[in-house]
Structure 1
Amino acid sequence: MTGYADCARVVRDERFAHMPPDNLLAFVGFPDWREHPALLHLFTSMITLNPPDHTRLRRLVGSAFTARRVQGLRPAIEQMVDGLLDQLSGEVDFVDAFAFPLPVNVIGELLGIPVQDRGQFQSLVSDWAQVLEVISPEVVSRADPAAATIRDYLAGLVEERRRRPADDLISALVQAQAADDRLTDEEVLSNAAFLFAAGFETTTNLLSNGLAALLAHPDQLKLLADRPEIAGAAVEELLRFDSPVQISSRVTTERVEIAGIAVEKGERVLAYLGAGNRDPERFADPDRLQLDRPDNSPLSFGGGLHYCLGAPLARMEAQIALPALVRRFPSLAAAGPGQRRNSLTLKGFSSLPICTTG
């Protein structure tokens, strides 16, 4: 599906579900998927499950990942942004200098990961996330040790928070185990690992994709610098224009007709979210970047039962960071071509050289 309405239906209609991992992973050659950490920790997290398992995990994790907890991070995010901007000078790689360290420190702050431990996770998460692109022996062989390292680190942190709770998300997930309907130890670890990885992988792409789009459209960059009050609308447009997540996969649970096509039960359906976000039937002049675009509702965070739990946090980070960046450096410009990641599902930059001085 490539049209906006059809993509929206795929991610919102419960008749389009996630393929059960036993079926999916056996199909791609991994019937022993539970023996591979990269597959086990992804396919036992709530992102890949269907009701009732998904409903239960979403409720328990959501009770810890509250709006109050997210909004409470605003002062810390503003301080992190200012600190990172203070360190930018001359020509720098925006990904390494800003787009990675900001979200990894934000999600690290939320989860309760000590500052000195956060930097090690960039390459680990990058290796693990490759299984979202393609599941092959070569990819899994790199992803497994990365996922195992992340899991082992979080297991130690969970044990520490069980002994000495703190005001962080790890402690809240551990405490959710005290209820009658509780998270198991493995559920705490799988979902903490997923939240940590997703919490900066996609936001790093949002920031780098967003800045690349602004640099390619100087009039819009100036608009954001002159009118920071449009930050909310601007981030929605940047999400639409170059979505960090491009594809969402589902399987039909019954015979469904969509886009004039009869899709039989058990067929796989791909929603190309990036294409839906450029659908001319939904967006006027869709290939034009317009930060103050009215009636903007991109598909970038999915929808329905699986709407991204971290969407409010990602939005807040971008709404704070991008206006502050363009105000701080009025002569901000590209310092060379950026390097796109070799990926289909998660779209972003591996490097984005910028010049902060005129």
Structure 2
Amino acid sequence: MDVNEILSGLYSEQGRQNPYPWYAALHALGPVSAIPPRPEHRTVGAVAVGYDLVDAVLRDPEWRKGSPPGWQEQEILRTFMSSMMFTDPPEHTRMRAVFAKTFTPRRLGALEPVIARVVDTMLERMAESGAGGAEVDFVADFAYPVPALVMAEFIGLPEADLAWYRQRVDWIDEYMDVAGKTPERLALANRAAEELRVFYRDLIAHRRRRPGEDLISGLVEALDSGEVDLTEDELISNLIVLFNASFVTTVYMFSNGLPLLLAHPDTVAALPGDETLARGCVDEVLRMQSPVHFLARAAPRDTDLGDVPVRQGENVLLIIAGANRDPVRFPEPDRFDPRRDGPPSLAFGVGLHFCLGAAVSRLEGTVALPRLFARFPDLTVTRRPTYSGSLFLRGIDKLFVSTGG
């Protein structure tokens, strides 16, 4: 198969449900492949799956994110382009420095008991819902509420607003997919961004009157003291993007990881009480079932990427999930091995745009998984999982299980 055939297969319904054979086909062509010009890839010149090559591009600050055409006219794009996740230096550097000061080890350390409390509460609810052999939706009853409640407490969102918030997160995520750029999805994403800006503006005003120990209170204090170079609009944009990125990826870490873990009962049985194994399981789940499947970077100049020429300004599609299964770096890449040696996965990116919430997500997994299997050692999947259908944020949206109760 040539690269166009592979990409067509990847974008098909079959590819969305299981993209990994298509990533393997790209690996067979080499670490990077040129994309012949065609209308749907006007600005994308190449696709890369080689771990070392993807890692190098992400670490190189000269490879820029760039700006989508007409971004000033759309609220959702204006939100993206005034956040650190979608901007390049020097704006990115300035904004990230503000958040790095508030993502302190003290604040992260204080999260572990919060995670344990939230996890234990959700496990009790699962036990109640699954009593008598009733099916439980693992996503609705665990994978979603655990990171949502943890991030809500960490950032400072009222728990009562989470259901309302989730709908707006979904609208934004649906627009971000490669097939999501329809007028209908753009309209909903714009609406979500507008409503979330109002929500955060009101919340910031409330924190000014009644500060707490949460992230928003810390950021508002830094903003009002004049210690940081950040506007309130930029603060709001970053909070919108940060909450989306931090908790959606964790939802999919749990939901994608459960079937993978249950296929290895010896590992599941050994998880309770083994923190090292728990960390290894989290890392291997993130490698094999990366929530974020691709990123794009624009060439700073006419250059050769591997043996593929790329023109200045032309984008390269970086397949994160494919790089994480590069057989050159991960022998037997489709085999689950929580004690695997080798480089770290690229699930949270590297370089300038390494995910600020990565430590929180990993901590949630390390705390939650042993508790989950200690409470439900006979947990089983009862139906075929329902995937999101997205090729950007790929994960299981519905996963029915039996708790064995």
Bin of the TM-score, shorter chain as denominator length: over 0.9
Counterpart residue number, 1:145? 191
Please tell me whether the aligned partners of residues 237 and 296 of structure 1 are also in contact (alpha carbons under 8 angstroms).
Answer: no
> 2:366 — aligned with what?
319
Q: Which of the numbers 375, 379, 388 marks the counterpart of 1:341?
A: 388
Structure 1 residue 131 corresponds to structure 2 residue 178: no
Seen in structure 2, the aligned counterparts of structure 1 residues 182 and 165 have a Cα distance that, compared at 3 Å, is farther
Matches of 1:234 and 1:294, distance apart in 2: 13
Question: For 1:253, what is the secondary structure of its paired residue?
Answer: coil
What is the CA deviation profile of residues 239-291 of structure 1, one whole-angstrom value per residue up to 9, with x for unaligned ones?
00110111011101123322222222111011101111111100111100111
Point out the more displaced range, 244-253 or 180-189: 180-189
**Runs of at least 4 residues off by over 6 Å:** none
Q: Which of 212, 219, 223 does residue 166 from structure 1 map onto?
A: 212
Partner of residue 29, structure 2:
none
Conserved? CA contact 1:17–1:50, under 8 Å:
yes
CA contact (8 A) 1:231 1:323 kept: yes
Worse-matched range after superposition: 163-172 or 266-275: 163-172
After TM superposition, the structure 1 stretch with the greater mean CA deviation from structure 2, 33-42 or 261-270, is: 33-42
The alignment-based identity, stated in percent, is: 38
Correspondent of 2:117 among 70, 73, 79: 79
Mark the CA change 1:176 to 1:35 in structure 2 (over 3 Å): closer, same or farther: farther
Confirm or deny that 1:259 pairs with 2:306: yes
Q: Cα distance, 1:17 vs. partner?
A: 1.1
Q: In the alignment, does 2:144 pair up with 1:100?
A: yes
Tell whether the 8 Å contact from 1:64 to 1:176 is kept in structure 2 after alignment. no
Q: Please name the residue that 2:350 is paired with.
A: 303
Asked if 2 retains the 8 angstrom alpha-carbon contact of 1:236 and 1:296, the reply is: no
2:62 pairs with 7, 10, 15, which one?
Answer: 15
Deviation at 1:136, TM superposition (A): 2.9
Q: Is the 8 A contact 1:101 1:119 kept in 2?
A: no
User: Within the alignment, does 1:70 sit opposite 2:108 as a pair?
Assistant: yes
Partners of 1:211 and 1:322 within 8 A in 2 = no
Shift of 1:226: 7.1
Q: Which amino acid aligns with 2:57?
A: V
Residue 166 of structure 1: how far off its partner (Å): 1.6
Cα distance change of structure 1 residues 337 and 292 upon mapping to structure 2, 3 Å threshold? same
Equivalent in 343, 351, 357 of residue 398 of structure 2: 351
**Is the 8 Å Cα contact of residues 15 and 254 (structure 1) preserved in structure 2?**
no
Aligned-partner residue type, residue 63 of structure 2: F
Instruction: Return the alpha-carbon distance in structure 2 between the equivalents of residues 245 and 17 of structure 1.
Output: 18
C-alpha separation between the residues in 2 aligned to 1:65 and 1:225? 29
CA contact (8 A) 1:273 1:300 kept: yes
Gaps of 5+ in 1: none
- RMSD of equivalent CA atoms: 1.6
Q: CA deviation at 1:114?
A: 1.9
Aligned to 1:331: 378
User: Which residue identity lines up with residue 277 of structure 1 in the other structure?
Assistant: N
